[in-house]
């Protein structure tokens, strides 16, 4: 049966950023499809709530508070998962993000922290996980959660957009090195109805502007992303690696534009 290829029954997944929003939706989606899940994020109370839901689905859950920008914490996350479950099949690098910031206000430190969170951390976890996947099961799948900011021109997102573009490039470049045993793909996510989009979705004017700019006329839901993750993590995509999938409601341009003050001469300057 073709549907059997979408099953992840008996497999073990690590999901970072699993306490809220997209990560929570991915963790629950994988559990519904049969996986046991190691849940990683900074806030333990959020993870405990998700773990209770995973267990209610009849699957095992492991709560591991983790700062993914700490390489030692990443190593502990992977090691503890294998110790608990005896194997590792799936890694979803979902943790990431950065607040909007105008280019002229973006410091070197902000840029470095954004890249550490969105690029270096996924690379670190991918290397650790790939080794355990091959050693415990013989194969596995990595899914990187990226953003349409990687390929769209957006004001206020110079750091975030550059970091997610780097994550997409990293996905493509590492895939042939880990193939055929470990597949690596990414999802460029559009506007999803999570806490980060609340400022838009709770304002009638902004919400309508967002919907008008989205061909599918609605924001995404975490389950929309979870469905794509399930495809890429399961045997349904066994001939797919090094690809970046756009799950974005059909957008080809930003649904909204964040205004930025124009660059003007410094008062008292010569211009």
81: how many CB neighbours lie within 10 A of its CB? 26
Whether residue 31 is preceded by a cis peptide bond, meaning omega within 30 degrees of 0, is no
Q: For 229, what's the count of Cα atoms within 13 Å in the CB-facing half-sphere? A: 32
Catalytic annotation, pick one of 117, 157, 160, 245:
160
Cβ distance 20 to 50 under 8 Å?
Answer: no
- Is residue 160 annotated as part of the catalytic site, yes or no? yes
Cα angle for residues 218, 224, 229 (degrees, 5° grid): 155
Secondary structure of the chain in the HEC alphabet? CHHHHHCCCCCEEEEECCCCHHHHHHHHHHHHCCCEEEEEECCHHHHHHHHHHHHHCCCCEEEEECCCCCHHHHHHHHHHHHHHHCCCCEEEECCCCCCCECHHHCCHHHHHHHHHHHHHHHHHHHHHHHHHHHHHCCCEEEEEEEEHHHCCCCCCEHHHHHHHHHHHHHHHHHHHHHCCCEEEEEEEECCECCHHHHHHHCCHHHHHHHHHCCCCCCCECHHHHHHHHHHHHCHHHCCCCCCEEEECCCCCCCCCCCCCCCCCCCCCCCC
Write out the catalytic residue numbers: 160
């Amino acid at each position: 049966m073709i549907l059997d290829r979408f099953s992840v029954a008996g497999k073990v997944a690590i999901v970072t950023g699993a306490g809220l929003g997209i990560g929570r939706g991915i963790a629950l989606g994988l559990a519904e499809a049969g996986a046991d899940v190691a849940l990683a994020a900074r806030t333990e109370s959020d993870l405990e709530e998700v773990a209770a839901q995973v267990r209610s689905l009849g699957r095992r859950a492991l709560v591991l508070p983790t700062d993914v920008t700490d390489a030692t914490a990443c190593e502990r996350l992977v090691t503890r998962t294998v110790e608990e479950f005896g194997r590792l099949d799936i890694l979803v690098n979902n943790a990431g993000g950065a607040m909007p910031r105008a280019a002229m206000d973006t410091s070197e430190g902000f840029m470095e922290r954004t890249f550490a969170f969105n690029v270096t951390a996924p690379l670190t976890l991918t290397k650790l996980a790939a080794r355990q996947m091959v050693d415990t099961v013989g194969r596995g799948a990595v899914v990187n959660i990226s953003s349409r900011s990687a390929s769209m021109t957006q004001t206020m997102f110079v750091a975030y957009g550059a970091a997610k573009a780097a994550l997409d490039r990293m996905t493509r470049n590492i895939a042939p090195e880990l193939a055929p045993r470990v597949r690596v793909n990414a999802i460029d996510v559009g506007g999803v109805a999570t806490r980060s989009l609340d400022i838009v979705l709770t304002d009638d004017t902004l919400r309508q502007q967002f919907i008008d700019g989205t061909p599918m006329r609605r924001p995404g839901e975490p389950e929309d992303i979870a469905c794509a993750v399930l495809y890429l993590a399961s045997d349904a995509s066994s001939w797919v690696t090094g690809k970046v999938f756009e799950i974005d409601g059909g957008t080809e341009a930003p649904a909204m534009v964040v205004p930025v003050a124009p660059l003007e001469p410094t008062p008292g300057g010569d211009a």
